[in-house]
Every structure is written in C-alpha cells, then in structure tokens.
C-alpha cells in the first residue's frame, strides 16, 4: 500500500514537473520580430528649422543609424522605416505602416523646439495624459500634430480632429492606451540612457496626445532627442557624432526592452 502511494506520488510529481516545464517553455516562445522606426516630418514638412540644422534631416539620420545598429546586432528582426528619404508621409500612414507590419514596437524620432533658445534636454513620450502636462508640453503636442494641416482631407482622415482645438484633446482623454505600461518601460530606458550613459539632461518621460501614437496598435513612443532651437544642442544633433551617440542610446534601450518583454511573455 505504501509503495503504491509512493509510486502515485512520484508519478504526480513527475507529471507536475513536466507540466511546469511545458508552461515555462510556452512562456518563453515570444520573440521580438518587427520594429517600425519613424523619422519625423519630411518633404514639405521640415519640422523645426535653424541655421545649424533641420529637424526632418536630423530625425532621418538618427533613424537610419538606429536601424542599422539593430540590423547588425539582430539580423532576425525586421526593421521597417516609415521613410528612408526626404519624403512626406501622413501621420495616419505612419501608424498604418506599423499596424500593417504587425510591429512589436513603434519609435518616432523628433527634435524639440522652443521660441526661446534656452531650453535643452531630451524627452520621451507615450500616448496619454500626464498630470504634469502644462502649457509648454501641450504646445509640443500641438506642434507635432499640426503637420496634418499639410495633408489633403485631414478632417476626414482624423475624424474631424483639429490640432489647435482644446476640445479635440479633451475627446482624446477618453481613449485608453492598452500598451501604456510597455510604452512607458521603453521610454524610461531611453531617458535613462540619455541621462546616465551619455550625461545629457533628461527632462524625463511624459505622456501626451500625439496623433501618430494614437493610431498604433502596439507599444509606441515619440522621442524628442533634444532642442534644435538651442544652439549648442542643435549643433550636437546636426553632427555625425551627436547622431551616432543618440542612435546608440536608442539601441541600448531597445536591447534592454527586447530582453525584458521576451522574458516576460
């Protein structure tokens, strides 16, 4: 009787161990497959512009450098660009590109700007409403969203959204971002790289209502890589060394995020 009980107990233990192994195996099956890198602005939309640099050119250069780093380190990952040259791409189409490719992550690259030449530093945004949102942060969203005014039939494409209307942003506040936690995770890693590794001034992780993030179906962030309106930082962003450093920071953050989500799923 005792031997029978022992046999049954051992069998149950072995079965449970196998089940646990299968469960662990299944949980580690997720692999990061596709990233969409979005170089902000382009074509007739120059973005922020100063004598030492233009946002559309800086964003494209950083995007391509970032993508090459991923290609070299992870050839199994598909890198998709919303643009690879000086072309104009509508905001909704940028999101559509990410959705069509079933991207695991969407990264939109920009340069910040201010009427004053004093502000400097980096910021990374997820879609949402930040309790720290103020007039300055709202102006960032309005500036980036106002590109739709260059698009044909933008009222129809964005369901009547007006980038200059406070009411439009109130409606956005009702939207729930199901990918917020993952978006904030990669955003935090990026700002940590900028601040801790590169010794740049990080203005932190923020949430704001950017159209290009609103229509994506995956974790998505918008990176303000620095203020092109600040002479020193603008020249840094326009330089090859500066662009390489920014791209490297993005890559290190991406590498850490990839490891995190693959282990968690």
Evaluate whether residue 247 is within a structural domain: yes
For residue range 100-146, list pLDDT tens digits in order: 999 999 999 999 999 999 999 999 999 887 755 556 656 667 666 66
Q: Is 233 left (phi over 0), alpha (psi -120 to 50) or beta?
A: alpha
pLDDT confidence of residue 75 = 98
Evaluate whether residue 17 is within a structural domain: no
Domain limits for position 235: 31-264
Evaluate whether residue 129 is within a structural domain: yes
Evaluate whether residue 187 is within a structural domain: yes
For residue range 222-239, list pLDDT tens digits in order: 999 999 999 999 999 999
The CATH code of the domain that includes 222 is 3.40.630.40
Evaluate whether residue 5 is within a structural domain: no
Counted residue by residue, the chain has a size of 265
**pLDDT > 90? residue 164:** no
Round to whole Å and give the CA distance between 214 and 67.
23
Could you tell me what percent of the chain has a pLDDT over 70? 71
For residue range 179-194, list pLDDT tens digits in order: 899 999 999 999 999 9
Evaluate whether residue 8 is within a structural domain: no
pLDDT confidence of residue 24 = 47
Q: Which of 11-15, 22-26, 160-164, 213-217 has the highest mean pLDDT?
A: 213-217
Alpha carbon distances (Å) from 16 to 5, 41, 244:
16, 55, 50
Evaluate whether residue 93 is within a structural domain: yes
For the chain, the domain total comes to 1
Let me know: does 205 contact 90? Beta carbons within 8 Å: no
DSSP class of residue 221 equals E
- Compare 174 and 216 and report the one with higher pLDDT: 216
Give the lowest-confidence range in 21-30, 210-219, 220-229: 21-30
């Amino acid at each position: 009787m005792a031997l029978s009980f022992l046999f049954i107990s051992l069998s149950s233990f072995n079965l449970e161990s196998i089940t646990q192994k299968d469960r662990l195996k299944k949980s580690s099956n997720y692999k990061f497959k596709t990233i969409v890198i979005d170089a902000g602005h382009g074509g007739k939309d120059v973005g922020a512009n100063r004598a030492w640099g233009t946002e559309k050119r800086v964003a494209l250069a950083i995007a391509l450098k970032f993508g090459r780093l991923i290609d070299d380190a992870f050839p199994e990952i598909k890198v998709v660009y919303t643009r690879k040259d000086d072309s104009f791409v509508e905001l909704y189409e940028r999101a559509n590109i990410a959705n069509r490719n079933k991207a695991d992550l969407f990264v939109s690259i920009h340069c910040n700007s201010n009427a004053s030449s004093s502000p400097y530093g980096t910021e990374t945004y997820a879609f949402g409403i930040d309790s720290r949102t103020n007039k300055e942060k709202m102006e960032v969203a309005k500036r980036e969203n106002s590109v739709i005014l260059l698009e044909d039939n933008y009222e129809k494409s964005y369901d009547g959204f007006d980038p200059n209307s406070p009411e439009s942003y109130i409606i956005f506040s009702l939207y729930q971002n199901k990918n917020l936690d993952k978006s904030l995770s990669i955003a935090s890693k990026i700002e940590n790289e900028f601040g801790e590794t590169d010794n740049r001034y990080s203005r932190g992780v923020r949430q704001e209502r950017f159209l290009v993030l609103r229509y994506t179906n995956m974790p998505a962030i918008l990176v303000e890589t620095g203020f092109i309106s600040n002479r020193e930082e603008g020249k840094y962003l326009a330089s090859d060394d500066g662009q390489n450093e920014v791209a490297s920071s993005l890559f290190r953050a991406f590498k850490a995020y990839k490891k995190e989500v693959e282990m968690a799923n």
